[in-house]
Structure 1
Amino acid sequence: VSVPEFVLKFRKFHMGKSLKKQLSVPFNKRKIHKSALVFSDQSVSTSELLKTSFSKEWLLMQRNSFIYVFKIVQGIIVALVASTVFLRTRLHEDTEEDGQVYLGALIFIMIANMFNGFAEATLTLARLPVFYKHRDFLFYRPWHFTLPNVLLKVPMALLESIIWVVITYYLIGFSPEASRFFKHLLIVFLIQQAAGGLFRLVAGLCRTVVVTNTAGSLALLIIFVMGGFILPRGCNSKMAGMGLLVFTSYVCIHCSCCQ
């Protein structure tokens, strides 16, 4: 029996006629139970979704605790190496060469903390397939996933920044004032946050390991080149040296004293 013939026979049958008569009358929505209708994409409240996302992120951080412990140990070793390279109880600040030493210490601190963000790219790439599946199934909105992921990484980044600054600041010989110590700590912490956000963004846009590593390296290269730390070779300008002491980033433009 073909499908059209079966449909025709069913409509002529008394059950088909009864069903057609029932469906011809519009249904009164006031009689339906309120739980049977869905008025939102979310099945639970925003607070419950955030609570669940925070619990999930905390569980994943506990499972990946080896990565965070390894990053802390790596930071301690790199900080000790940097301290021995620039080992001095108090850096001199009289000549242009002294300013170059300051510059070398500052740019090494920036590079070391920026490269810590590569771990965030790897972790984000590993979670992207599950994230897109949950998003397509309307389990939660993207910001429900992103907000706990960012906030729970803040204490870890703050701990790494404190360890780095405590080891390097006075061994390298920066200015001993407490106010400048905490300003330096704040800058290192913000660099770590910027690096983590940058590599999470790159991983979310690229979605593959090869493209993410390439784009992340290119982004770091652009940041280093445009960061204001590059000086022309053979610059003998005393003003450039003084500028390095006053500002953490200084661009020396080719002028008459450099030619």
Structure 2
Amino acid sequence: MTQDALLGPSDIRELAAALDLRPTKQRGQNFVIDANTVRRIVRAADIGPDDAVVEIGPGLGSLTLALLGAAGHVTAVEIDDVLAAALPATVAARLPARADRFALVHADALRVTELPGPPPRALVANLPYNVAVPVLLHMLATFPGLERGLVMVQSEVADRLVAPPGSKVYGVPSVKTAWYAEARRAGAIGRTVFWPAPRVDSGLVSLVRRDPPPTRASRAEVFAVIDAAFAQRRKTLRSALAGWAGSAAAAEAACEAAGVAPTARGESLTVEDFAHLAESRPTRGGA
């Protein structure tokens, strides 16, 4: 792929002007204008010619073009009408030899349940700040063939996604991500590589798919106890899980059956602990 194929600051602004595009905060639109940054992301994602990649929120195509230069196939999911209409033309103009390896899905990523082309093995995306966590969790849940991912998110969200139990920022995103994957920080991204420049720094998070904890409980049941535990995170599990279990006494019994201290708080539990709790939830009739 030639240097000219990638988008620079002037290219981005020219495309935006031609489309009469004004990035909106509502959709978390901050476009990457630095070619070195998208190359770095593709390298960190370890994308090769055998990979089918799904990208969320491709925007004007900065990362899309870099991914197409390395991957076997790229499917981009874009909700914005103007951007979705323009991206295929940008790909055709910049990388005509690879245009047949590109597919666009014009949809809300949170509602996507199937994708054209080969099943994606990797998720690589500059996720819109306002929906980063729900989109990530939806994609991991909906496409079990995703073996790995590299996402760019707001720096504090990156911290939450990779936080271990006991950390001050450990919470629902941390535990639910751990259900699907091992997450780690893969670098920091400054504000100046975006247009418009956000008011916060960004971080890269690397994800490698893992098997969920062995449990008789369903994912929905495990996620329900996670939500309950962190809804009142300052309370002990005996109190925080009272509504989930049916009473404080039933919550205490569930904790004891799961081998978890009723006096503990949600931020000290692993995803395996939550799976054990979900298994130990009393039936409504017996609580």
* TM-score computed with the length of structure 2 as normaliser: 0.19
* TM-score computed with the length of structure 1 as normaliser: 0.20
* Structure with more helix by fraction: 1
